[in-house]
């Protein structure tokens, strides 16, 4: 009688566990998925922190202050082919940066567009157009002779 009672108890326990196991397996799968996502996000944040730290170290070593909030760089050159345009800027302290459309400058300005002769930057509803500076010799070579 004790064996039958024990057998019935084990049978019913196994049945209850079998019924709960799909839910438990599903819950574990969801938890594992969430852990994987959170781990990936954590790694991304750690990597971004490492990048920011290295950039700060490089700026400090080079004496660059391009992270100045008010800094607007000088447009040095524009290059590219097939619509893949890049603008090269120089800051007053000698810092250099190369950007493409959509990139943000350290000072918060966003590259709206890059044309053949100018770049449009925007920040907090403000827009500015930076044009390439013509070399002095190019300016004078286009004037009529004798004037």
Residue 143 in any domain: the answer is no
- Based on the fold, state whether residues 43 and 83 are members of the same structural domain: no
Q: CATH code at 126?
A: 2.30.30.830
Give CA–CA dist 141/137, Å, rounded. Answer: 6
Residues 29 and 79 grouped into a single domain:
no
- Let me know whether 23 and 51 are in one domain: yes
DSSP element (H, E) containing 80: strand 74-81
First to last CA, the chain: 123
Domain boundaries, position 130: 74-136
Are 57 and 88 part of one and the same domain? no
129 found inside a domain: yes
Tell whether 21 is covered by a domain.
yes
Find residue 85's DSSP bridge partners. Answer: 80
Handedness of CA 45, 46, 48, 49 (dihedral sign): positive
Whether residue 67 is contained in a domain is answered as: no
Q: Are the beta carbons of 111 and 105 closer than 8 angstroms?
A: yes
> Look-up: residue for tokens 């097939």?
82
Q: What is the pLDDT of residues 94-145, one digit of tens each?
A: 788 889 999 988 888 899 999 988 999 999 889 999 988 765 554 444 444 4
Inside any domain, residue 145: no
* pLDDT score at 110: 92
- For residue 86, tell me if it sits in a domain: yes
| Together in a domain, 3 and 53 | yes
Does residue 85 sit in the same domain as residue 115?
yes
Q: Tell me how many domains the chain contains.
A: 2
pTM of this prediction?
A: 0.45
Q: Please give the pLDDT value at position 59.
A: 62
Mean pLDDT of the chain: 74
**Whether residues 131 and 82 fall in one domain:** yes
| Residue 84 belongs to a domain | yes
**For residue 79, what are the β-bridge partners?**
86
Query: Which of helix, strand or coil describes residue 77?
Result: strand
């Amino acid at each position: 009688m004790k064996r039958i009672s024990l057998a019935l108890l084990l049978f019913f326990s196994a049945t209850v566990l079998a019924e709960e196991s799909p839910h438990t397996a599903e819950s574990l799968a969801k938890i594992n998925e969430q852990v994987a996502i959170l781990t990936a996000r954590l790694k991304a944040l750690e990597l971004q922190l490492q990048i920011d730290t290295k950039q700060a170290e490089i700026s400090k070593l080079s004496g660059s202050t391009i992270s100045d909030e008010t800094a607007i760089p000088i447009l040095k050159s524009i290059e590219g082919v097939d619509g893949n345009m890049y603008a090269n800027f120089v800051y007053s302290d000698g810092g250099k940066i190369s950007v493409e459309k959509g990139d943000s400058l350290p000072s918060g300005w966003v590259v709206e567009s890059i044309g053949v002769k100018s770049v449009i930057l925007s920040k907090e509803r403000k827009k500015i157009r930076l044009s390439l500076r013509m070399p002095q010799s190019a300016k004078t070579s286009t004037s009529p002779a004798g004037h």
